[in-house]
Amino acid sequence: MVDRTETPLAILFADICGSTKLYDTLGDAKARDTVARGIAVMTDATTRNRGRVIKTIGDEVMSTFKTADDATQAAAEMQDDMKAVMVDGVPIFIRVGYHFGPALIEGADVFGDAVNVAARMAGQAKAAQILTTAGTVKHLSPAWQASTRQIDHTVLRGKRDDVEIVEILWEREDVTRMATYVRNITGPTVRRQRLVLQHQGLQFELSEQQPTLTMGRGDQADIIVRHGLVSRLHARVELRKGNFILTDQSINGTYVRDGNDAEHFIRRDSIALQGDGLIGLGQAPLPGMPEALRFTSVE
């Protein structure tokens, strides 16, 4: 008879994004080698952080950890170490999702609600992203809690309430374990309903239905700005209590030129966007500059 034990665990799923396309573009041998390198990265990060690999299925790794902090550190190291995995100069991305909760250990396998929730988090994650739940964040140390942000919620089968989805800001250039604060451009903040961002003929809208947009040169950004001074995930704009807040997460900082032609520079800091103006990632924006983003707030 197989022993069954229920215990709190962090369940983590990590997989390689677009592995099917890799086989189409690289061929079987090269794609298999690339996937193997990715699996090795995810496995090594697990064992370094006192985790246990439960199984690998194709391009996916399932791991368990005794603490939420260990799982978070492992997830961050997976993402960071994957930067070295490239094919013909093209980076290979992974996505990670995890959840801390009661799990049923049966032999070498793990079952239960925590497994299902973790799998949903992984399914929601984008390339180079780590997602977890608000319930997991409660089990994190203050240092890791400071590196999180709520981005969405989802409905899980069999659960009465929505599950809040939280992103882990894992990149060293994204977060220096600092508490961001809001500095206004001019005067008190004003409640806005929509913020329209324009870049190279494309238009993006921030609203209650889409409360967060990310900007950077990486493919995982919502608004992609290709320039050497732009970080992979350079900045984000969020709707917070009726205000649109731009937060810089980069090395080179972000410039905001408001409608009065006044220029503001932030680095690892936040600023409220009001009226209309220009945003420059890593460099001061000028009208007509291809890399500049135009913003307009609409009541």
Most confident of 95-104, 151-160, 228-237: 95-104
Structure confidence at residue 2 (pLDDT)? 57
Task: Enter the pTM of the model.
Answer: 0.60
Measured CA angle at 203 (ends 202, 206), to 5 deg: 145
The 10s digit of each residue's pLDDT in 56-75 is 998 999 999 999 999 999 99
> What top-level class would CATH report for the domain 182-298?
mainly beta
The reply to whether domains 4-168 and 182-298 share a CATH topology is no
Q: Do residues 64 and 100 make contact, with C-beta atoms less than 8 angstroms apart?
A: no
Question: Is a pLDDT exceeding 90 seen at residue 243?
Answer: no
> What top-level class would CATH report for the domain 4-168?
alpha beta
Residue spans per domain, the chain: 4-168, 182-298
Higher-pLDDT residue of 18, 175: 18
Question: Is a pLDDT exceeding 50 seen at residue 175?
Answer: no
